[in-house]
Chain A
Amino acid sequence: MRDHWSNCITHFDERVDVFVKEHFSDPKTRCLLIAGAGFDPRARRVAEKLAAAMGPRLHALFLREERGDPAANLTTEADTNEQELLSLVPNGVVQQIQIFAEDGAPVAGQRLSDTLARFEWPEELTDVVLDMSALSLGIAFPAARFCLEHCERDDNLNFHLMIASNPELDARILGEPSPQVINVRGFAGINVEYASKPVARIWLPHLAHGSAAKLQKIRASHNDVYKICPLLPFPARNPRRADELLTEFLTQLTDEWDFDSRDLIYVSERNPLDSYRTISTLKERYDRTVDGIFEPQIILSPLGSKVMAAGAMMAAIEHNLLVQYVETLRYDFDHMGNGHEHHADMTVHVWLHGPIYASYKQQEPAPEPEAV
């Protein structure tokens, strides 16, 4: 069904602008944008592009994540973003999503599902765009799954992911972790509780600046992990970023995780398909390796870059993998960036589903005979 996923149509940076003008300017397009309306400075990037090309043909559902005790300045910035988004997209609505229940339990996925189920989708849509730029993992992943399933029921409905990514800015957004490790809603993986064979787990944590405490909690929740394969960003805008993360996670890697240095996985910081392809290949090989002896289980913890996380999400959907994370109680944002220079946002577009792939299989060359 998704033969094209390893080779999806993607656009980057200024090519995204060209694509948006070319595709969404067509008066026949009617699009629903689903995006975050929080404090994140990237919240408006995608909406601005689409609104400029579409005007009243653009509809939007903006999700505002509410956490118990937000920093006052971040609330003000989220209010500003919300107002700006509504002026950009007059056919837009804002829905608040409570991330924690009154007893402190993380309920983001459940609330998101309720919101999407209640939402009245505009009629005669041609395109759905999920903008992951300003959505947390606990909201973006279930939203993507919901939208994909909705769009895949219609061969003519396009589904796109868009992300305004900025790894240097990500490093300035720090979160206080909640006490609980949870499975992302819709990403519980196969149920191994009653498996007839012993379970062999591989854990793929994304090493990201400031996420050590969260990853430690997830690691501590499993006492039997066959292998740990940390994911690092390479190629990356900063060619030393992977080395810097290795240094930041020195204690975990050398003293706590029983990790084999040959098991590091490098995936592109720019192209989500790289992490999709890499994780999919690992899954297929691992399944073959343990087939008939163990029940394989791959656990993803994509806490870092949204681009890498989007690829992991695609792999998780395609192969029904478990995604575990730790929700954030409260964000802090270092606006000054510790004096570091400003880095521009990188924009990514991935076309996940649509009639453009109708003849994708035809382009595959016939396999060559094996060399003797």
Chain B
Amino acid sequence: MALSLIAEIMGWADDSQSEATREYAWLRLMSTVKYDSYSDFRAGIRFVESLATWLKQFEPEDREVAFRFIRERLVYISVAEMQCLIEAFVPEILTPNLRQIVGQDLGIPAYDVWATKKGAETFRKRLRKTLFVGMSDGSRIDVLRRANSGRLSQEQVVPILNVDFDKWRDLAENLEGDQGMQPGEKFDSVYLIDDFTASGTTFIRNVGGKWKGKLKKFNDIIVNAKNELKEQFPIVDNFDLHIHHYISSAQAKKNLNDRLKAAEAWEQRTYGSWAISEGLLLPTTLPVSPATDGAMINLCTKYYDNQLFERLRKHCEENGQTTMAFGYADCALPIVLEHNTPNNSIPLLWADTDGKGGAHPMRSLFHRRDRHG
């Protein structure tokens, strides 16, 4: 029934050799493999039903462009794909970084670290002295812990940014008491882990000369905890900071680099060296652009309700934006994550508005749970 609904909306002829048959097969496969598991879908109204609602908002002559966009441009990161990115973090990002650091400590090439007992033991200790902090629900620290059971200690992983003083004391006690560690031993590296960055803005930004974002918040937490706990605080001064996103856009990577360089001037900076990594770097060609997506760009503006901008006016203006037709920070991404759709993606994918004042009421395909209202 749902597939017939799509055929009716799209105007596909209903015979066995038709376009409809091919598209039905594709819709069935992709719904099952990927789209039906979107976190906002519910029994009875999953991908195909949501697609019907979404397509109906467009005038008939625009529906083919919208459907082709989903078929050929949408990047949907499924649960299984996200799991791959989480599982790859320790072997593919952390381990080579640690080998590099241990190699520098011992004055040997990184690839020689496991050649001697001394190198291997230094590696093991350095691994234990690395702290992992989840920056949001999307960092999926539970999955990261499970994937590295036996490799990472439960006592070196913190699922939330807001760590209280008791937790800091616990972390210190457990580290000092671990195999081969000495009293007063401290963490020397910290990994801040998050799921996705498209603009880098949420992580670090400067608004009117004032620094904001998750990194500033983390730095403030460290400053306060150090002041309170003194020698009991379990992280060394000028620790190595690593910022890892499971997925990053090329634009965000550049912005993060630029802003972290600027933030080196912070008076109360707690970290020393810093590095940025990601599990999947989205290509620079991914954003919707006039050169490759002219017809879809037209739909983004034709069916745009400026209420989106009004709802986020403060954030948008901080960012120098005058419209939300192409998403936050004008990122124009065609990306959907299984647990939510980033507001940096084109709003036609995620926005629901009521069309006040004669505007077009936008209907989402993948409804976004928005922190900003």
Q: A6-B91, A234-B84, A235-B88 are in contact. Are A359 and B117 (CB under 8 A)?
A: yes
Q: Is the CB of A238 within 8 A of B91?
A: no
Q: Is the CB of B115 within 8 A of A239?
A: no
Q: 1/0 per residue B97-109: CB within 8 Å of A?
A: 0010000000001
Q: Is the CB of B84 within 8 A of A355?
A: no
Q: 1/0 per residue A254-293: CB within 8 Å of B?
A: 1100000100101110010110010000000000000000
The reply on A225 being an interface residue by CB < 8 A is no
With CB as the reference atom, state the residue of chain B lying closest to A240: B75
Q: Is the CB of B114 within 8 A of A363?
A: yes
The reply on B32 being an interface residue by CB < 8 A is yes
Q: Is the CB of A254 within 8 A of B28?
A: yes
Chain A residue numbers with a CB within 8 Å of B123 are 363
The reply on A339 being an interface residue by CB < 8 A is no
Chain B residue numbers with a CB within 8 Å of A261 are 29, 32-33
CA distance A23 to B85 in the complex (A): 31
One of A185-193, A242-250, A321-329 contacting the partner? A242-250
With CB as the reference atom, state the residue of chain A lying closest to B286: A239
The reply on A351 being an interface residue by CB < 8 A is yes
Q: Is the CB of B80 within 8 A of A253?
A: no
From 4 to 56 in chain B, residues with beta carbon under 8 angstroms from any chain A beta carbon are: 22, 25-26, 28-30, 32-34
Q: Which of B30, B96, B280 contacts A243 (CB 8 A)?
A: B30
Q: Is the CB of B124 within 8 A of A19?
A: no
Chain A residue numbers with a CB within 8 Å of B282 are 239
Q: A239-B280, A358-B114, A365-B150 are in contact. Are A264 and B120 (CB under 8 A)?
A: no
> Within the complex, what minimum Cβ distance (angstroms) separates B153 from chain A?
6
From 144 to 184 in chain B, residues with beta carbon under 8 angstroms from any chain A beta carbon are: 149-151, 153-154, 179
Q: Is the CB of A366 within 8 A of B88?
A: no
Q: Is the CB of B29 within 8 A of A253?
A: yes
Q: Which of B26, B95, B109, B153 contacts A7 (CB 8 A)?
A: B95
Q: Is the CB of B25 within 8 A of A365?
A: no
The reply on A226 being an interface residue by CB < 8 A is no
Q: Which of B26, B114, B149, B151 contacts A359 (CB 8 A)?
A: B114
Q: Do most interface residues of chain B lie in helix, strand or loop, or is the interface mixed?
A: helix
The reply on B347 being an interface residue by CB < 8 A is no
Chain A residue numbers with a CB within 8 Å of B121 are 362-363
Q: Is the CB of A359 within 8 A of B153?
A: no
Chain A residue numbers with a CB within 8 Å of B127 are 363, 365
> Within the complex, what minimum Cβ distance (angstroms) separates A301 from chain B?
20
Chain A count of residues within 8 A CB distance of the other chain: 49
Chain A-chain B contacts (Cβ-Cβ < 8 Å), number? 119
- Chain B interface size, as a band, is 35 or more
Chain B residue numbers with a CB within 8 Å of A111 are none
Chain B residue numbers with a CB within 8 Å of A7 are 91, 95
From 302 to 360 in chain A, residues with beta carbon under 8 angstroms from any chain B beta carbon are: 341, 351, 355-360
Q: Is the CB of B111 within 8 A of A246?
A: no
Chain B residue numbers with a CB within 8 Å of A368 are 149-150, 153-154
Q: Which of B29, B88, B335 contacts A268 (CB 8 A)?
A: B88
Chain A residue numbers with a CB within 8 Å of B28 are 254
Chain B residue numbers with a CB within 8 Å of A360 are 114, 120
CA distance A23 to B115 in the complex (A): 15
Q: Is the CB of B115 within 8 A of A359?
A: yes
Chain A residue numbers with a CB within 8 Å of B33 are 246, 261, 264
Q: Is the CB of B114 within 8 A of A264?
A: no
The reply on B112 being an interface residue by CB < 8 A is yes
Chain B residue numbers with a CB within 8 Å of A23 are 109, 111
The reply on A149 being an interface residue by CB < 8 A is no
Q: Which of B22, B109, B119, B124 contacts A365 (CB 8 A)?
A: B124
Chain A residue numbers with a CB within 8 Å of B81 are 234-235, 242, 266
> Within the complex, what minimum Cβ distance (angstroms) separates B252 from chain A?
15
* Chain A to chain B contacts (Cβ below 8 Å), 8 pairs: A23-B109, A235-B84, A255-B25, A261-B32, A264-B80, A359-B120, A362-B124, A363-B123
Chain A interface (Cβ within 8 Å of chain B)? 4, 6-7, 9-10, 19, 22-23, 234-235, 237-240, 242-243, 246-247, 250-251, 253-255, 261, 264, 266-268, 271, 273-274, 277, 341, 351, 355-368, 371
Known: A22-B109, A243-B30. 18 other contacts (CB 8 A): A7-B95, A10-B96, A235-B279, A235-B280, A238-B283, A239-B75, A239-B283, A239-B335, A253-B29, A254-B28, A266-B80, A268-B84, A271-B92, A357-B115, A360-B114, A365-B151, A367-B150, A371-B154
Chain B interface (Cβ within 8 Å of chain A)? 22, 25-26, 28-30, 32-34, 73-77, 80-81, 84-85, 88, 91-92, 95-96, 99, 109, 111-117, 119-121, 123-124, 127-128, 149-151, 153-154, 179, 279-280, 282-283, 285-286, 335
